[in-house]
Amino acid sequence: MITAYTLFSGSGGNCIYVKDGKTEILIDAGKSALSVEKSLASVATSTENISAIFVTHEHSDHISALEVISKKYQIPIHITSPSLDFISRSSKYIQKNAVEHCVKYEQSIGSLHLSSFAIPHDSVQNVGYRITSDDGDTLGIATDMGHVTSEIKESLFGCRNVIVESNHDRDMLIYGRYPDFLKSRILSENGHLSNEDCASLVCALANAGTINFTLAHLSRENNTPEAAFFASRNALDKCGFNNVYLGIASPTCAVMVTDPISCGKVI
């Protein structure tokens, strides 16, 4: 059975901790090595126990802790070639631990089996992950998503747990104080996913069997946890999925994303 936490989530930094039995991995490592260390301590583990780090893409909110972690630890960093090429220009230690992949790849670490899929975003490359444990439990992860493709849906279909981006409320963004170029970037096909588009994806995935969602990578400026929650909750309820669990990742502290009953955060 997979246990996972978003350690922190949002434009300030992203890191997801995934465990199955003795296998512990991270998806992304944003903020700082110290922040990752402290967050791991809050879920009763440490960086020494991490067997691998999987990178979604090269934006700083997903990789800013990697250089210091790589200097101190010999943890393999699984990353696509375009993202690694980009990072290598400004890093010395990440490269020595890097394991390069093409956009669609499969990798097993202990009892966890990961397969990647492409996500449209304004990075040189961005991937999501479908993670399966030896006992058949599943966790899907898709953030920093300009729009939802059929490949994304197919890759997440049937996952028991899904972490999905619910970045912004469209009206808050359009009428907010961001400059026009930034609004256009976020709203573009390669930007970030709105609450409305997230709600549609969540319903499609609930229809395919997902029972537990965590909304992630919420904009601090153009969203609120309440707006993100109610967009997806209302959509799920309208589709008859009243008993599907919906939680919200925190920008600052660990939130369990695989146990709807005891530890997930509900608004």
Residues near Zn ion (CB under 5 A): 59, 61, 144
- Closest CB to Zn ion among 60 and 88? 60
- Closest CB to Zn ion among 24 and 144? 144
What is the smallest separation between the CB atom of 165 and Zn ion, expressed in angstroms?
8
- Closest CB to Zn ion among 24 and 61? 61
User: Which residue is at the shortest CB distance from Zn ion?
Assistant: 59
What is the smallest separation between the CB atom of 212 and Zn ion, expressed in angstroms?
22
Helices marked H in the chain — which ranges? Answer: 33-42, 60-63, 66-72, 81-88, 94-97, 150-156, 170-174, 180-187, 195-207, 225-238
What is the smallest separation between the CB atom of 174 and Zn ion, expressed in angstroms?
20
What is the smallest separation between the CB atom of 164 and Zn ion, expressed in angstroms?
13
Distance CA 153, CA 204 (A): 8
DSSP conformation letters of 91-134: -SSHHHHEEEE-SS-EEEETTEEEEEEE---SSS--EEEEEEET
What is the smallest separation between the CB atom of 222 and Zn ion, expressed in angstroms?
14
Dihedral angle of Cα 18, 219, 90, 129, to the nearest 10 degrees: 30
225-238 vs 195-207: helix axis angle to the nearest 10?
40
- Closest CB to Zn ion among 57 and 78? 57
- Closest CB to Zn ion among 191 and 260? 191
